[in-house]
């Protein structure tokens, strides 16, 4: 190993000592295996549990026990407006106005609901652009939407591809695709941060391009929310959705977030699937009225939301609000840069980072391709107390989350990887 062991570690410890956000690590439960806290670098898949989440969930169980149905009005945090307690903090996480954001359902469900409104194909303009290596659920969703409207997904789905031999995508190739299919593209659905490569995109540029060619622009922020600063409002994204169990630490199967740009807040033209929870709050319980949508994203709600998942998400969003996305992003750039630096120091010929080098083109995740490797390397890493994730055939995704990961975590991961591939 070219890295001097002790000097390397003391440098990491120094960086932690200088980190103003270091204290947040203690606000999360870190899994313990064989009596030792693991090095958890898997917030891209499931974020850690905030220690206060259980008190937040327990409070709702207690109030349910105490009040029964009356908890809708008399719980310490009444359930009727419970989702509203999360709106402002969630809006800050994704760079939106409160009227543009709601938490409801889960991610793929929301992608479908939003496409009902925003994917409105005609016989000429019916194609959907997704990015290369889009998450499977997104591909299934857009393919089934196209098929639902009577189009053949093999014809209707276009893929923004990397240049031959490259892993990551270039905006000029998206523009080329839009040009080639001028007049045919109805909608873009792009992962704000690609789950596989960790590449993040210039969302403002994607929106400008999509709009210039007459398409509606949607973003799947599953790997972006709580990671990058997507500025959805200013970037003029039409719609977006994300899950909250990854970087937003809401717990397994946690509730999803939705963004609908303010310009549609009062639109009566968009078709949508409706339910009573999207109806005007003043008259919701009169039960007989014609549907009268709540202005903004809330008007897309169908059902009264599950309070327990909202409670755990509320616990986490309060921490995000306190730490602030700008500070988290600043640490993230430094922390991921440090991880990259350590991996570069190894200069092992079997290792290649396929995530872009430019911090503006990535979030916290690095995707490391390990040549001539198999899943055994990953199993060995896990056995050594490091939790990362593995994507066939040969990619390890490592995601130091600025909220609860330390520079020492990055150091330990690289140290163990080095021993295992040596």
Binding mask 122-151 for ligand PLP (x = CB under 6 A): -------------x-xx-------------
Q: CA Rg, the chain, in Å?
A: 22
Task: Assess 112 for contact with ligand PLP (CB under 6 A).
Answer: no
Task: Assess 195 for contact with ligand PLP (CB under 6 A).
Answer: yes
C-beta closer to ligand PLP: residue 146 or 243:
243
User: Residue 146: CA atoms inside 13 Å, Cβ hemisphere, count?
Assistant: 24
Least CB distance to ligand PLP at residue 155 (A):
23
Task: Assess 223 for contact with ligand PLP (CB under 6 A).
Answer: yes
Size of the site for ligand PLP (CB under 6 A): 12
Least CB distance to ligand PLP at residue 221 (A):
8
C-beta closer to ligand PLP: residue 229 or 343:
229
Task: Assess 239 for contact with ligand PLP (CB under 6 A).
Answer: no
Contact call for residues 257 and 239 (beta carbons, < 8 A):
no
Give CA–CA dist 5/14, Å, rounded.
14
User: Residue 205: CA atoms inside 13 Å, Cβ hemisphere, count?
Assistant: 11
Least CB distance to ligand PLP at residue 215 (A):
19
Question: DSSP of 47-78, one letter per residue?
Answer: PPEETTHHHHHHHHHHHHHHHGGGHHHHSSS-
Task: Assess 115 for contact with ligand PLP (CB under 6 A).
Answer: no
Task: Assess 107 for contact with ligand PLP (CB under 6 A).
Answer: yes
Give CA–CA dist 346/330, Å, rounded.
25
Give CA–CA dist 54/248, Å, rounded.
16
C-beta closer to ligand PLP: residue 129 or 342:
129
Contact call for residues 135 and 195 (beta carbons, < 8 A):
yes
Using CB under 6 A, which residues numbered 318 to 337 contact ligand PLP? none
Binding window for ligand PLP (CB under 6 A); candidates: 102-110, 143-151, 277-285, 313-321: 102-110
Least CB distance to ligand PLP at residue 354 (A):
17
Task: Assess 386 for contact with ligand PLP (CB under 6 A).
Answer: no
Three-state DSSP at 81 gives: coil
The residue count for the chain: 422
Task: Assess 300 for contact with ligand PLP (CB under 6 A).
Answer: no
Three-state DSSP at 126 gives: coil
Residue with tokens 């040549």: 371
Binding window for ligand PLP (CB under 6 A); candidates: 16-24, 101-109, 321-329, 379-387: 101-109
DSSP 295: S
C-beta closer to ligand PLP: residue 63 or 238:
238
Distances (CA, A) of 178 to 130, 146, 323, 416: 12, 18, 39, 45
Residues in touch with ligand PLP (CB under 6 A): 106-108, 135, 137-138, 191, 195, 220, 222-223, 243
């Amino acid at each position: 190993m070219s890295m001097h062991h002790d000097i390397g570690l003391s440098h990491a410890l120094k960086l932690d000592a200088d980190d103003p956000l270091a204290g947040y690590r203690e606000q999360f439960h870190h899994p313990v295996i064989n009596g030792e806290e693991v090095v958890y670098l898997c917030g891209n898949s499931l974020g850690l549990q905030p220690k206060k989440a259980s008190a937040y969930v327990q409070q709702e169980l207690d109030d349910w026990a105490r009040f029964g149905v009356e908890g809708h009005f008399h719980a310490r945090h009444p359930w009727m407006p419970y989702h509203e307690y999360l709106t402002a903090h969630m809006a800050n996480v994704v760079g939106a106005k409160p009227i543009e954001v709601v938490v409801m359902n889960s991610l793929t469900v929301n992608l479908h609901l939003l496409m009902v409104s925003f994917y409105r194909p005609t016989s000429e303009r019916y194609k959907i652009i997704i990015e290369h290596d889009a998450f499977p659920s997104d591909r299934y969703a857009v393919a089934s939407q196209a098929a639902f409207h009577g189009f053949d997904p093999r014809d209707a789905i276009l893929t923004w591809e990397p240049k031959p031999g490259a892993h990551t995508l270039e905006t000029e190739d998206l523009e080329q695709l839009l040009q080639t299919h001028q007049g045919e593209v109805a909608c873009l659905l792009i992962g704000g941060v690609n789950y596989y490569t960790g590449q993040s995109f210039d969302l403002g540029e994607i929106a400008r391009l999509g709009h210039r060619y007459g398409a509606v622009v949607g973003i799947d922020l599953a790997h972006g929310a709580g990671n990058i600063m997507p500025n959805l409002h200013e970037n003029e994204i039409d719609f977006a959705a994300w899950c909250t169990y990854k970087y937003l630490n809401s717990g397994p199967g946690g509730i999803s977030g939705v963004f609908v740009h303010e310009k549609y807040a009062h639109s009566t033209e968009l078709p949508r699937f409706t339910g009573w929870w999207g109806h005007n709050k003043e008259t919701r319980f009169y039960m007989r009225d014609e549907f009268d949508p709540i202005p903004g994203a809330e008007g897309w709600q169908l059902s009264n939301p599950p309070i327990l998942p909202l409670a755990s998400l509320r616990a986490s969003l309060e921490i995000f609000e306190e730490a602030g996305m700008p500070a988290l992003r600043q640490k993230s750039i430094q922390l991921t840069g440090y991880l990259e630096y350590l991996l570069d120091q190894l200069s092992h010929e079997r290792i290649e980072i396929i995530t872009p080098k430019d911090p503006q083109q990535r979030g916290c995740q690095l995707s490391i391709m390990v040549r001539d490797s198999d899943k055994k390397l990953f199993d060995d890493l896990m056995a050594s107390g490091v939790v990362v994730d593995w994507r066939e055939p040969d990619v390890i995704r490592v995601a130091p989350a600025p909220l609860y990961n330390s520079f020492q975590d990055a150091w330990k991961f690289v140290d163990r990887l080095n021993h295992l591939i040596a």
